[in-house]
Structure 1
Amino acid sequence: MNRPHFPEDNPLQSVHEATVNGTPPRGKPAALVAGLVAAAGFVVAGMIRGTYPFGPASRSTNDLGAQYVPFFAHFWDILTGNAQGDLLFNWQSAFGVGFLGDYGVDLSSPLSFLVVLFPRDDIDLAVFVITTLKLALAAAAMAALLIRMRPGPWWLAAALGASYGLCGWAIDDAAYVPMWLDGLIALPMFCLVAEWSLQRKHRTISVLVVAVFWVSNFYTAYMATIAAGLFLVARLLTSEQGWLDRLRGVLRHALVTVLGLALSAPILIPVFKANGLAAPSPPGVFVPVPLENFFARLLPLSEGVGRSASLYVGTAALLLAATLPFNSAVKAVTRITWTLLAVLVTASFLWTPTHEIWHGFDSPNGSQYRQGFVLCGILVIAAWLSVADRIPNWKALAGGTAIVVTLAILTQNSPLLTNGSIIVLACSGVLILLALLAVQYAGRPHLVALISSVVVIAAVGVELTWTAVVVDEQRSKVLSAAAPPWGSHQSELADKVREASDWPQYRTDPGTKQTPNDPLLLGGQGGGYYSSLLPASLNRTFTDLGFGWVGYGRASHSLDNAVTDAIFAVGARLDNDTIRRAEALPLVTVHPEPPADAPQPDNAFAFQERLLGAKVYDVPEYRGRRTATPGVVSLTAQCPVGSSVHLILPRVTGRARLGQYGEWKEFSAPRRPGITTSSAMLELGSTPGSGVVAIELEIVASSGRLPMTGAIGCLDQAKLRAAIAERRASGATKVKTGGHSIVATLKPDSTGLAVVSVPRVPGWRCSVDGGKAQEPTEFGGLLAVKLPGPSKRLSCGYRPPGLEVGLAAGAGAALITLALLLIPVLRRRRRKLAQTQQTQQTEQPEQPRQPEEAEQPAS
């Protein structure tokens, strides 16, 4: 039980707490100011940097522009009815993939629905506003938590809340991965749930809070859940409740957490299923950073995205947290518990077993310290505990200052400190110390506290903004790849794609020039798709067919190839800002059933021919030799005159050209081919009249030796036209698609194998002529259904794996939560009814007593 507070105990309280009846402080002004300071700092930093929407510089660094902005654009299309697909399925990416997993990973925050309030042409602005709002809500939630934990000066709670909302992790790691910011909000909210569990309050709201944030982003919610567990342990150890009451609090917290997780199961279980089917990336190897660089990230103006933990929480929070071990005004058990907790969490970042626990035993390949916001939150809470009751005395301030100065001295040579880090630290520290000492020792406490509150909030806001500017500038040098924000050029491209589209009669592929997710960003239906949930089976199919990819197979690129365009029914393609059309097959074709002993393809050309159902390539043998130019190899082969020459070397980075004077064409693999990337098939030109094909190949990097066969293919255009005509003659006469279904009307008495130009992934069920729905088979990686006899109609529907189980678990949790809500209501009603009946009985007038008959005397 917390010690009662009185206004006269602390001059800080007088600004917000000294009322006629001595009511305790409220968290509303603290939360509001914290949110405003955090939002203003982020916005002003963008103004200073000149990034969108305040200048021409793009803020769509890395995944923000390549993945999240296109996903938000597609979400806008879904909400407004303009998408091909729905929340369950995405017809536009990778020729058709499930979407519920992507929604659950990237878009399921309730704030994502705000995107519909903006025009689609302002999609980048919508993402910026949502990001700003998440930072503000994180700051507000932390300030509210601090006031709930222990009443204190609201303006210090606001300053500390803003410090958390604009901490180094938020700006350096999560500002361009907006889904992670939901975890920044979740941490203080989960700690509030722990507080409510101890106080026997808000059980139903607690369940909903857990469910909302686990749905919003399970990855950071997992870390926030661990942090909230540690928070609960610390609160139990410092509580004055009896052990039985503490145990009940733990059980209540466990109950609401489990119910919240179960309530989120309709999203969580499909996400976990999709993650299990996704293209795997090699596990990251955790190598702790040197302590000098690790602790340098506690200081302002430090930057080391992907190289160290982003731990900056502002000088005020760092200084006050450092005073806690020396603050004799705080109970010893509180000082020891929270100091030890901060030390242990810090150590857990540097030890491999605990590092893996924080990441769900899957160490990431990118930023290693994605749990950094947890330590930021603990430092802010420790700072509040040291200052909430009263200003630390001069001894505690001296001890905290000594710790901060020691950190500055030990890390002054770290390459992660930018120019001005120590100066900003010193200036902010001195200003904060003077303000705190003035409140403690100066007269006229009301006026001094008011001035100090303005000075502290202003100093915190300026420092946070300055650090955000420097961090963003330094990070842009490390992560230089940035997609341009939506502008007139993108609008023109989207208009061209829309005008050329005739879905589902054929696909219109916008390519992947802007981002790997151009089908979502610009519209159309193509092979481009960037998602951490891209199925491994789809990656294998694309690799076999000659498509290029990056990101360990999780970002597929469009392939401009006449044969694959025919296979996937691509009738229009955006090429160099113009639309190029081609004869398209229907989405559903009928093939003769292949024999069981058919030979397996051994190169990309043979894989394409299998799906097309005809031989259209000549795959010649070739000879290789070194040329006089270092790094350049010549490949020579014989091809039919006039055929189109294609080259496929997926494990090579470099460029190639046909002949000595041909146009150089780049392979798509930018780095480490065969490990993180795979190069796409290239079309180099036409075979000359001599029939001799001479390819010059400049190799920048290669994983292994060049293949001896299967790298060169010569496409006969006449054979391709004949094959397309044959497939059209037996293909579907009409195709209709729904949000996650497809229905094809076949030509009368069709027999053989119906092939849908959609990748075969788990979740599809198909039926023929209204028969029983069954799981389809696979033909070259595509969806295929064996026609049992002469057939007229094929219908297929998709349901994400795990959705049924998730819905059942969610329904059960909803019923239990509803019972938790109704049981206390029914108890109160029963108690009130009993009291009413008792009152009625008490107030009922007594019946007059009848006089007893006098006893007759004995005779």
Structure 2
Amino acid sequence: MTPAGTAPAGSAPAAAEDPRRARRRATGTAVALSALLTALGLCLGDALARMYPFGPATRSVSDLGNQYVPFYARWWDVLHGHGQGDLLINWNSGYGTSYLPDVGTYLASPFSPLVALFPRDRVDLAVYVITVLMTATAAAAMTGYLLRLRRGNPVLAACFGTAYGLCGFAVTDAAYNPMWLTGLIALPLLFLGVEWALEGRRPVLGALLVTAAWAANFYTAYMAVLGSLVVLAVRLAQTPAPWRARAAAVLRLGVRTGLGIGAAAPLFLVVYTGTRYVWPIAPRDFHAVPWSDVLARSLPTTYGFNSPGLYIGTFALLAALAMPFDRRISGRIRATWCVAAGAVLLSLQWGPTVLVWYAFTNPNGSSYRQAFVLCALLVTAGWLSFSRGLPDRRTLLCAAGVLAAVAAGSASSGLDIRWTLPVLGGSVVIGGLLYLLRRHAQRRGMYRLAAATLALLPVLQVGEAAVDTARVDRNRLHHLDSHPAWGPWQDQVRQAVTASDDWPRSRTEAGSEMVTANDPQLLGGQGAEYYSSLTSEAWISTMAKLGYGWTSRGRAPRTLDNPVTDAVFSVGTRVRAVPHPSAEPYDASVPATVTVSHQKVPPLVTVRPAGPAPRYGNDTFRNQEMLLGATVYAVPDARVVTRDGRQAQRTADGWRADPQSGSKALPSQRITVACRPGWEVFLNTPHFGGTAAMAQGSTVRMVAAPGTQVAAMQRLGVVPADGRVQIDLRAAKPGSLPLRPVGCLDPSRLAAAVGQLSRTGATQVSVSGHGLHAELPAGSVGTAVVAVPRTKGWQCAAGDAALRPAQQYGGLLAVPLDGRATTVDCSFTPPGLKAGAALGTGSLLLLGAAGLWSARRRRAGRLAL
């Protein structure tokens, strides 16, 4: 029997677990509440702004509509087994491009597969839901970390987690770049890994958190790791442990981080290696924004594309500002967090430290994407103060004074702050009333009323964040280009593309940038367009020499509606959507006429005579002919005159084409050439921006800007009976014309060239996930040319020979033929995949060994007890 007053055997551990179970329950409640509040605040803000899916205004601004929505549409195809290609190759875009680096950059988040649960024509809604879930998860992760760092009221912790989830970085920047939300999620998880490293616990899980972050998006994961090192420095400075123990903690975290990064190598190393072969973009020098803008961006409703999104809500900001004055916290803790936050803030404004945040490469866009790290530090500092209960009056007055100074300092900002002071003032007044009511209720013993005032705090937090989100939504829509959500036009074009698809016998082009720069992924087919941060230099340089235009500083090639290049790349079907004349670019709400045209083209694999590969020059028409293998153009000398009849100014490379004062109805320049009647007229003016038209021909728009956009070659019409071609140009901005900008295409010569390539080309072509197989006529000699860009990673072979790195023929895949082989095989492996797989395998083996060793130590410790 058990003695009186003694608990039965085994009951003591159960009783000891009760407080832990209660803490877990409270933490779970806080985590769920913060996720709910964040989702509510984000959706409510979008609804107030009448943004999709709550109103007619599109959310698809800039990269969200131009990259993410199309990438998610193709991801839907891959997940449902409808994709042309696999995880290694994308046959839809860029006439065949590497896909795994795009997956690692844009689609590696564990939330991305959720797109498969939605209909394909609701991809915009799927991306929105994923964005909301990722933002809510970031808030939940921060809430869990805060309660792990210090216990406190779950409702209060949820409010601080919500402040992080709806911070300025998330609402302003990551909302239209969902991959950046992975960093927002990863940062508090890596903070948690720092705590485990300090305690010597959970080595495998700590490393796997790093793996998940780097696999999801190593770009923001790198910043998150730097942020975790800041927190490590803070925590080490606060601990009284000896230096040896601190060094051991640093070593533990370093090993875990290294193994975690290594385990993610199969994905992140492919992305990193892929960046070595991308189209180079001239780095933009860093220019710090005025400090008044920095201060303004910490307050509600402000927006600035290239400024730090530091908003965390008035309540959380007040708490963070109270921390330095809160005497309940030791001076060392206050000093370390203040120094850390101040150092990170200064690092946002100094060029050398900005380079450190971006791994010593200038970013292509905003220079303040690392702002979420400072938001996390501010939220953490605020929690360390308010989790102890409300500070005294002196502390709050000091914090309010600093907040007032921040507001005053932002008054000279060039940003729109018309709504800032009213919203800020309203939040301060409401928060002050809640503070007074709660203090009064606690003194009177009215604890239910005191609890009710705490329950109103989430309402204040969500309400202010919703107003901030709505204002940012509207400002962003006015500052950035936008793209329409899926609608009837996209349905019509996709149906036409799907019905005409004849891959791999020939390609189907979905038109010229109807909705996005990634229409082949969005609408289907196998087009030239492909906009990514990883667009290869080999592809863009080849396309530019052939008359294809590009935008986004070279990262987004435009398709070329030209029968010569269609023959070269086996484009047998073109879908064209001609918008209403009043429609703006990308305006899918205006009815359009969709037409489908077919033409006879050679197969995907052709055979060229033995001889040297083409070497391109500056004449685009001759470059096309070299790749085709036949002369099909007449490129006459051109006479270019200005509006008053004088010859245009000659330059070293051609002619100047500038806007001229006076009536816009009159041309600014006129080009005159002589060609054979009935031939087709093409205009090649890559550096001319404006419109061009010839008599009885259509007017075409040329879009060009130095360093950012190059205009594609355009078809203008047919040479009239007198053989005299006049082309009127209306320049919208200063530009230039080539010396011979006009080429006249002989359709009969082109038909003969197509017939010859078809007779000697492959008799059958088949494609696999990341490979290609072609059957050739017996006795084929010379060079087999595959109409696929020769990017790094392709290997090819003729007959039974071993695969070797592919040769190139005018920028395309080439395989030498000796007359004996009747087959050609090509396979693609992304650069970095093999090395990444080896590194990942080794890291996982080491992690497994570390896990077994840790488990044995724990088991030995329990046996010893």
Please state how far the C-alpha of 1:438 moved relative to its aligned partner: 4.5
CA deviation string 1:625-648 (max 9, x = no partner)? 112474611111111111101111
Structure 1 equivalent of residue 346 of structure 2: 347
Structure 2 equivalent of residue 363 of structure 1: 362
Structure 2 equivalent of residue 391 of structure 1: 390
CA deviation string 1:186-243 (max 9, x = no partner)? 1111101111111222211111111111111111111111011001110111124343
Please state how far the C-alpha of 1:448 moved relative to its aligned partner: 4.0
Q: Structure 2 counterpart of 1:593, which letter?
A: A
Structure 2 equivalent of residue 594 of structure 1: 611
Please state how far the C-alpha of 1:493 moved relative to its aligned partner: 1.5
- After superposition, the Cα gap between the structure-2 partners of 1:484 and 1:724, relative to the gap in structure 1 and judged at 3 Å, is same
Structure 2 equivalent of residue 708 of structure 1: 739
Distance 1:323 1:344 in 2: 18
Equivalent residues of 2:217, 2:268 under 8 A apart: no
Structure 1 equivalent of residue 698 of structure 2: 663
Answer yes or no: is 1:690 the counterpart of 2:722.
yes
Structure 1 equivalent of residue 789 of structure 2: 759
The alignment-based identity, stated in percent, is: 40
Structure 2 equivalent of residue 605 of structure 1: 621
Structure 2 equivalent of residue 646 of structure 1: 682
Distance 2:768 2:225 in 1: 39
Answer yes or no: is 1:420 the counterpart of 2:419.
yes
- After superposition, the Cα gap between the structure-2 partners of 1:348 and 1:798, relative to the gap in structure 1 and judged at 3 Å, is same
Distance 1:690 1:21 in 2: 92
Distance 2:701 2:785 in 1: 33
- After superposition, the Cα gap between the structure-2 partners of 1:820 and 1:637, relative to the gap in structure 1 and judged at 3 Å, is same
Answer yes or no: is 1:241 the counterpart of 2:241.
yes
Most deviating of 228-237 and 693-702: 693-702
SS of match in other structure, 2:766? strand
SS of match in other structure, 2:732? strand
| Residue pairs, 1:264-283, within 5 angstroms | 264-283=264-283
Structure 1 equivalent of residue 317 of structure 2: 318
Please state how far the C-alpha of 1:154 moved relative to its aligned partner: 1.5
Distance 2:18 2:758 in 1: 83
Please state how far the C-alpha of 1:607 moved relative to its aligned partner: 1.1
SS of match in other structure, 1:161? helix
Equivalent residues of 2:519, 2:529 under 8 A apart: yes
Q: Structure 1 counterpart of 2:765, which letter?
A: V
Please state how far the C-alpha of 1:779 moved relative to its aligned partner: 0.7
Answer yes or no: is 1:582 the counterpart of 2:617.
no
- After superposition, the Cα gap between the structure-2 partners of 1:833 and 1:368, relative to the gap in structure 1 and judged at 3 Å, is closer
Unmatched 5+ residue regions in structure 2? 1-16, 578-593, 645-659, 662-666
SS of match in other structure, 1:787? strand
SS of match in other structure, 1:152? coil
Unmatched 5+ residue regions in structure 1? 1-16, 836-859
Distance 1:833 1:322 in 2: 49
CA deviation string 1:357-399 (max 9, x = no partner)? 1122222232121111111111101101111223211111011
Q: Structure 2 counterpart of 1:802, which letter?
A: G
- After superposition, the Cα gap between the structure-2 partners of 1:140 and 1:696, relative to the gap in structure 1 and judged at 3 Å, is same
Distance 1:24 1:438 in 2: 30
Structure 1 equivalent of residue 642 of structure 2: 626
Distance 1:151 1:740 in 2: 52
CA deviation string 1:471-528 (max 9, x = no partner)? 111111111x221111232122211111101110110110221111111001110111
Structure 2 equivalent of residue 485 of structure 1: 485
Answer yes or no: is 1:187 the counterpart of 2:182.
no
Equivalent residues of 2:296, 2:417 under 8 A apart: no
CA deviation string 1:795-841 (max 9, x = no partner)? 00000011000000000000001011111223455667789xxxxxx
Distance 1:813 1:159 in 2: 38
Answer yes or no: is 1:466 the counterpart of 2:502.
no
Distance 1:365 1:827 in 2: 49
- After superposition, the Cα gap between the structure-2 partners of 1:20 and 1:530, relative to the gap in structure 1 and judged at 3 Å, is closer
Q: Structure 2 counterpart of 1:435, which letter?
A: L
Distance 2:546 2:490 in 1: 29
Structure 2 equivalent of residue 373 of structure 1: 372
- After superposition, the Cα gap between the structure-2 partners of 1:401 and 1:97, relative to the gap in structure 1 and judged at 3 Å, is same
Structure 1 equivalent of residue 520 of structure 2: 519
Structure 2 equivalent of residue 410 of structure 1: 409
Distance 1:146 1:463 in 2: 22
SS of match in other structure, 1:579? strand
Most deviating of 568-577 and 622-631: 622-631
Structure 2 equivalent of residue 8 of structure 1: none
Structure 2 equivalent of residue 565 of structure 1: 566
Equivalent residues of 1:285, 1:365 under 8 A apart: no
Equivalent residues of 2:290, 2:413 under 8 A apart: no
Structure 2 equivalent of residue 839 of structure 1: none
State which of 811, 814, 817 in structure 2 corresponds to 1:781: 811
Most deviating of 628-637 and 465-474: 628-637
SS of match in other structure, 1:60? coil
Distance 2:122 2:22 in 1: 49
- Report the structure number with the largest CA radius of gyration: 1
Please state how far the C-alpha of 1:115 moved relative to its aligned partner: 0.9
Structure 2 equivalent of residue 843 of structure 1: none
Q: Structure 2 counterpart of 1:554, which letter?
A: R
Distance 2:126 2:615 in 1: 52
Report the TM-score when normalising by structure 1: 0.92
Q: Structure 2 counterpart of 1:644, which letter?
A: E
- After superposition, the Cα gap between the structure-2 partners of 1:24 and 1:110, relative to the gap in structure 1 and judged at 3 Å, is closer
- After superposition, the Cα gap between the structure-2 partners of 1:379 and 1:754, relative to the gap in structure 1 and judged at 3 Å, is same
Distance 2:98 2:488 in 1: 31
Q: Structure 2 counterpart of 1:425, which letter?
A: L
Q: Structure 1 residue runs of 4+, over 6 Å off?
A: 17-25, 831-835
Structure 1 equivalent of residue 533 of structure 2: 532
Most deviating of 383-392 and 98-107: 383-392
SS of match in other structure, 2:805? coil
- After superposition, the Cα gap between the structure-2 partners of 1:21 and 1:132, relative to the gap in structure 1 and judged at 3 Å, is closer
Please state how far the C-alpha of 1:437 moved relative to its aligned partner: 4.9
Distance 1:430 1:152 in 2: 25
Structure 2 equivalent of residue 430 of structure 1: 429
Equivalent residues of 1:642, 1:689 under 8 A apart: yes
Distance 2:190 2:313 in 1: 23
Distance 1:296 1:818 in 2: 48
Q: Structure 1 counterpart of 2:183, which letter?
A: G
Structure 2 equivalent of residue 5 of structure 1: none
State which of 845, 850, 858 in structure 2 corresponds to 1:820: 850
SS of match in other structure, 1:786? strand
- After superposition, the Cα gap between the structure-2 partners of 1:696 and 1:31, relative to the gap in structure 1 and judged at 3 Å, is same
CA deviation string 1:689-746 (max 9, x = no partner)? 111111111222245x43223x211000000000000000000000000010000000
- After superposition, the Cα gap between the structure-2 partners of 1:320 and 1:25, relative to the gap in structure 1 and judged at 3 Å, is farther
Q: Structure 2 counterpart of 1:388, which letter?
A: S
Equivalent residues of 2:607, 2:782 under 8 A apart: yes
Please state how far the C-alpha of 1:24 moved relative to its aligned partner: 8.8
Distance 2:685 2:553 in 1: 17
Computed over aligned residues only, the root mean square deviation of the Cα atoms, in angstroms, reads: 2.0
State which of 727, 750, 775 in structure 2 corresponds to 1:720: 750
Equivalent residues of 2:806, 2:815 under 8 A apart: yes
- After superposition, the Cα gap between the structure-2 partners of 1:382 and 1:566, relative to the gap in structure 1 and judged at 3 Å, is same
- After superposition, the Cα gap between the structure-2 partners of 1:599 and 1:824, relative to the gap in structure 1 and judged at 3 Å, is closer
Answer yes or no: is 1:811 the counterpart of 2:841.
yes
Structure 1 equivalent of residue 293 of structure 2: 293
- After superposition, the Cα gap between the structure-2 partners of 1:535 and 1:225, relative to the gap in structure 1 and judged at 3 Å, is same
Distance 1:413 1:833 in 2: 67
Equivalent residues of 2:182, 2:213 under 8 A apart: yes
State which of 710, 725, 732 in structure 2 corresponds to 1:678: 710
Distance 2:22 2:697 in 1: 86
Distance 1:169 1:445 in 2: 39
